[in-house]
Amino acid sequence: MRSQQWYGGDDRNSYIHRAWMRRGLPAGAFDGRPHIAIANTASDLTPCNSHLDEVATSVKQGIWAAGGIPMNLPVVSLGETQVKPTAMLWRNMAAMATEEMLRANPIDGVVLLGGCDKTIPSLLMAAASVDLPAVVVPGGPMLTGHFRGQPLGCGTDVWRLSEEVRAGTLSQADFIDSESSMIRSRGHCNTMGTASTMACVAEALGTTMPGIAGTPAPDSRLLERSHATGRLIVEMIEADRRPSKILTAGSFRNAIVALAAIGGSTNAVVHLLAIAGRLGIPLTLDDFDTTGAGVPLLVDLQPAGRFLMDDLLRAGGLSAVLAQVSDLLDPDALTVTGRPFVEHLAGAQIWDTEVIRPRTDPLLLDAGIAVLHGNLAPDGAVIKPAAATAALLQHRGRAVVFDSIEDVHARLDDPDLDVDEDSVLVLRGCGPRGYPGMPEVANLPIPQKLLARGVRDMVRVCDGRMSGTAYGTVVLHVSPEAAAGGPLSLVQTGDPIVLDVAGRRIDIDIPAADLAARVASTATTAAFAAPTRGWQRLYVDHVMQANTGADLDFLVGSSGDVVTRESH
């Protein structure tokens, strides 16, 4: 066992390592039994993960039962709804800190407890880099809340109801009254937002116990499966079943198929690219299009559909969804059980064909994330057709440009703003470097005067991200971003913007020579003030672009689990 490098022997250092850990552990705790960290993102300031201490207790019991020694390891926790300016600013920091703590400590394997959007990606990035046996336990979605008899989709209905207030069709008092109904229980968003998407993607990658993704946080089966995961990690250590042996190119193809079939969040794109980068797997942005092309949308969940996450579990869960497209999955990709992922789909059935459509009756025939290129996005951009308005997927409109999110807040609802329903709202300065951190602001609100006329969607283009709970015809992750000198910095109000999703293009329709002759907007340049110290300085100096996963350049790849020097 790796932990014996700390605890084995009779010298002074071994004595120190053992003595300081003898706080109630059984006598045989240091005789070669596996020591297992529970990387726990529980935090009262990450409300979606606040229940993970209870989950950790069940994992601990499973580890004890299988003969291991469990160790709670609190790690950096990022609450999507709480931290400013954006949780994405610290995803790489959380991954780096977790990686270093896993490597530095006397552990043989790790159970990764995540839930809210950035926690599962950061944990998987860390686990891939340190390459100790690792398994994910997703914290699970909340139960569905209701307001005046109607189910509320967490996140999605926030965007919808707030727009109705701005349109004058819902009172501010009624909007605030719905607040206490939105969050019914512990757990993360109950829509197919980023948290639910990453739980499903983690399972499709093979990094969770099969069948656990989507189990609601208050469901007793989550604790049962957490206990079983505790037992499983002991087996994984005995079999030396590491991320590098489980995660292959085929695993990522399976994740992309799952992403399309469930109508998952565009945020999964940057997270999967970053995880693959830690493993040295040559995943590219275009792989999301080529692999996802032709995959049908089978799950009728908000924001692309009607239902919510507890409906998905009731209807058969992720296994029932992926059983419908099993021929598109890699037959050799493994899971943490040591068996191929596809084997775990045998016998999975759909119990409600309204929630999970059979492949013969999909919501959409082709639901994958569409990757766009063109003179506006030379290195690519993405759009989620399942959450867009079909009539806008091929569109030509006049650009209305905003240089920052503050510029949006100042001018969007100005009655004199020269905008109509055919306009294309362009927001820049929101990429990895430019914000910094690539915030979820790309789904710009509709100008108030257009809301009053009944407009509920417009084409929007941005170098930032949008929440996985959001919807609309939004072109995201434009690369290179404006702050990195991308063409988005050259767009001027009035420029014709052409979106052609079928043709996979996003362009400024002006002569190339005219575009090349332009100088970046001085307002854009002024909005980007490089940080002078701390994590933000390190981040801005080293963050890569969205098309490669927005990881830090010096974190790509892995360092393994070896520690060569003693502590005393």
pLDDT tens, per residue, the chain with 568 residues: 999 999 999 999 999 999 999 998 988 999 999 999 999 999 999 999 999 999 999 999 999 999 999 999 999 999 999 999 999 999 999 999 999 999 999 999 999 999 999 999 999 999 999 999 999 999 999 999 999 889 999 888 888 899 889 888 989 999 998 988 899 999 999 999 999 999 999 999 999 999 999 999 999 999 999 999 999 999 999 999 999 999 999 999 999 999 999 999 999 999 999 999 999 999 999 999 999 988 999 999 999 889 999 999 999 999 999 999 999 999 999 999 999 999 999 999 999 999 999 999 999 998 889 999 999 999 999 999 988 999 999 999 999 999 999 999 999 999 999 999 999 999 999 999 999 999 999 999 999 999 999 999 999 999 999 998 888 999 999 999 999 999 999 999 999 999 999 999 999 999 999 998 998 766 666 566 778 899 999 999 999 999 999 999 999 999 999 998 888 8
**φ/ψ bin of 227: left (φ > 0), alpha (ψ from -120 to 50), beta (otherwise):** alpha
Question: What interhelical angle do 267-279 and 285-292 show, nearest 10?
Answer: 110
Amino acid in position 321: V
Can you tell me which residue has the tokens 């360092």?
559
What per-residue confidence (pLDDT) applies to 527? 62
CA 276/CA 250 separation, integer angstroms:
11
Q: Which of 53, 45, 48 is nearest to 76 (CA)?
A: 45
Minimal CA–CA distance to 104: which of 137, 66, 75? Answer: 75
What is the rounded CA–CA span in Å between residue 281 and residue 284? 9
Q: Where are the domains of the chain?
A: 4-18+33-144+184-345, 145-181, 370-529
| Nearest of 16, 459, 546, 543 to residue 269 by alpha carbon | 546
pLDDT of 42 = 98
Per-residue pLDDT, 531: 85
**What one-character DSSP code corresponds to residue 520?**
-
H/E stretch holding 270: helix 267-279
Structural class in CATH, domain 370-529: alpha beta
Residues near 85 by beta carbon (within 8 Å), at least 6 away in sequence: 435, 436, 437, 439
Give the DSSP letter string of 390-402.
GGGSEEEEEEEEE
Buried b (16+ CB within 10 A) or exposed e, 470-479: bbbbbbbbbb
Q: Integer distance in angstroms from the first to the last C-alpha of the chain? A: 21
Strands 394-402 and 496-500: antiparallel
Give 364's strand partners: 297
User: Alpha helix (H) ranges present in 395-437?
Assistant: 405-411
The CA-atom distances, in angstroms, between 19 and each of 10, 70, 553 are 12, 17, 40
- Tell me, what amino acid is at 164? E
Report yes or no: 374 and 507 within 8 Å, Cβ to Cβ.
Answer: yes
User: No. of H helices and E strands in the chain?
Assistant: 21, 14
Task: Give Rg (Cα) of the chain.
Answer: 24
Quick one: pLDDT at residue 525?
60
User: What is the model's pLDDT at position 568?
Assistant: 84
Transcribe 103-171 into DSSP letters. HHSS-SEEEEEE-STTHHHHHHHHHHHH---EEEEE--BPPPEEETTEEE-TTHHHHHHHHHHHHTSS-
CA dihedral of residues 337, 341, 346, 348 (deg, nearest 10) = 100
3-state secondary structure of 99: helix
The model's pTM: 0.96
d(CA 325, CA 170): 41
CA distances, 34 to each of 69, 236, 244 (Å): 6, 11, 20
DSSP 34: P
- Taking the C-alpha atoms of residue 277 and residue 58, their distance in angstroms, rounded to an integer, is 32
Q: Are 547 and 477 in contact (CB under 8 A)?
A: yes
